Homo-oligomer: A and B are copies of this chain.
Amino acid sequence: MPERKPRADAVRNREAVLAAADRLFATCDRPEQVTMADIADAAGVGKGTLFRGFTDRTGLIHALYETRLEPIRQAITDGPHPLGPGTPPLERALALLDAILCFKLDHRHLALALEATGTDSPYGATHYDWWHGTLRDVLAELPGFTTVDFTAHALLAAVRADLIDHLTDHRHLPREQLRTDLAEFTTRVLTSTAGPGTHSFA
């Protein structure tokens, strides 16, 4: 079974669609305003082609997101300091979160579009489990940490796309401000010597 190679026009179209979608999402301010028909038109293909290639709306956005995310993923799994492995945990955790933040800033439209699919909250997405797992493993290397799992979730929640979007677009927080704020917050969380701080209320 020599596994036929995919047709040339198919791959060409696939690229065209991804490019068109990226462009449209980037220019329109509410991702749900971008309709499938719009994307098809902009890419110069029929609607059927979209769904053949990407199954459904979510699939298309997913695919797009994935391509943009790949480099960062790479940098984390086996890249150089400070993102790659081999960086001491506290510094690496900070680097991770900063990287996510910057990514979301640079690709706000995509991240928002992804979350706006509605079909699956971010927590259904495959990315999320990966991010969470990675961050959790890093935190686990820090001494004296018990609630690693929840902490990873909470830290990731601080860089969710819509929050970032709200802070930059509506509240006009400049990028660097946001980065330092996040860094300080993360540092607080990770360097605290919190004993059993569990005050219990009735």
- The chain A residues found within 8 Å of chain B, CB to CB, are 32, 82, 91, 94-95, 98, 116, 118, 121-123, 146-147, 149-151, 153-154, 157-158, 160, 162-163, 165-167, 170, 178, 180-189, 191-192, 194, 196-199, 201
Contact = CB atoms under 8 A, between A and B. Distances in A.
Contacts of A118: 32, 116, 118
A98 B201 CA distance: 9
B187 A197 contact: yes
A149 to B, nearest CB: 8
A116 B118 CA distance: 7
Given A189-B185, A198-B180, A158 B153 contact: yes
Q: How many copies does the complex hold?
A: 2
Across the A-B interface, give the 9 residue pairs with the lowest CB-CB distance, nearest first. A187-B197, A192-B192, A123-B166, A150-B181, A157-B157, A154-B158, A188-B192, A121-B162, A188-B194
Instruction: Pick from A151, A160, A196, A199 the residue with the most CB of B within 10 Å.
Output: A199
14 contacts: A82-B201, A122-B162, A147-B181, A149-B181, A150-B167, A150-B185, A153-B158, A154-B185, A157-B158, A157-B160, A180-B198, A185-B189, A187-B197, A192-B194
